[in-house]
Amino acid sequence: MPIDPGVALAAPPTVEEIGWDTSDVLLYHLALGAGAEPVDPAELRYATESGSVVVPTFAVVAPMLRATRPPRVAYPGVEVDLRKILHGSQRVELHNPIPRDGKAAVRTRVADLYDKGSAAVIVVDTEATGIDGVPLWTSSMRMFARGEGGFGGDRGPAGPPDPPQRAPDHTIITPTLPQQALWYRLLGDRNPLHADPAVAEAAGFPRPILHGLCTYGIACRAIVDAVLDGRAERVRAIEARFAGVVYPGETLRTSVWREDGRLLFVSTVDERDNAPALAGGELTVEEGQSA
């Protein structure tokens, strides 16, 4: 049985030590499109050693930076073919700003399993703590495993609400690069769906698609720059649901609403009549400061 809830939910977290340096952070920023204006100081603080900023969504790639093989969905009590998996949503909660050079102990576990009948939802949490004992981030990933439901579990919570029924407070236009997925895969996600045209065609796509987590990072950086005056350290959490595909070279339109001290957002694709890319997005800022 690919999913055994009793084993998966009772298993202790796996623990490993990871490390990263400034070059890893700069590569991540370049893979998100930083440096498009190579003489703009605001861009160079992401793309060179002249800055200290780290886009908060770096947390999702830090544990897999050295991976060179396609990822596996394998945890105690869970073993699912990657071809059955859809990345449903991602949340990162920042406990402290991420340094450009660092080491951390990361603890990963299956936090929840939901039974949708035709599919299972696998919730995997990763907690990172610096070697000095300072908590850095908690990352929560939801994956849909097609054909793996029916084990009698809870269906889980409802999805995020729709955005407010009014014009957005901010609209941010961000072009992506034709080679963007080829950059991003160097951060450890070597799923051939993002690089091999034959694999993409077999999966029903006309060409390789952009990593959902790349779109997630692009949206985060866009909001930080356009709404938070470039102050990435203000971000305390960001989450979004992956609602559709983006092809490298397309243009993202991120709509942002200020609502009860939060920033709600969606990202769509301009070239395909605002086809959805990210939905149910929410970015929260540090306590005591409004968004």
Instruction: Tell me the DSSP string of 40-60.
Output: -HHHHHHHSTT-----GGGGG
Dist CA 282 CA 261 (whole Å): 11
Catalytic residue among 189, 196, 225, 260: 189
Catalytic residue among 29, 112, 194, 225: 194
Whether 162 is catalytic? no
Which pairing describes strands 14-20 and 73-75: parallel, antiparallel, or unpaired? unpaired
What residue spans of 84-191 are helical by DSSP H? 180-184
Dist CA 44 CA 53 (whole Å): 10
| Helices 212-227 and 22-31, axial angle in degrees (round to 10) | 90
Whether 189 is catalytic? yes
- As a whole number of Å, the end-to-end CA separation of the chain is 46
CA-to-CA separations, 93 to 98, 240, 279, in angstroms, rounded: 11, 12, 18
Residues labelled catalytic: 189, 194
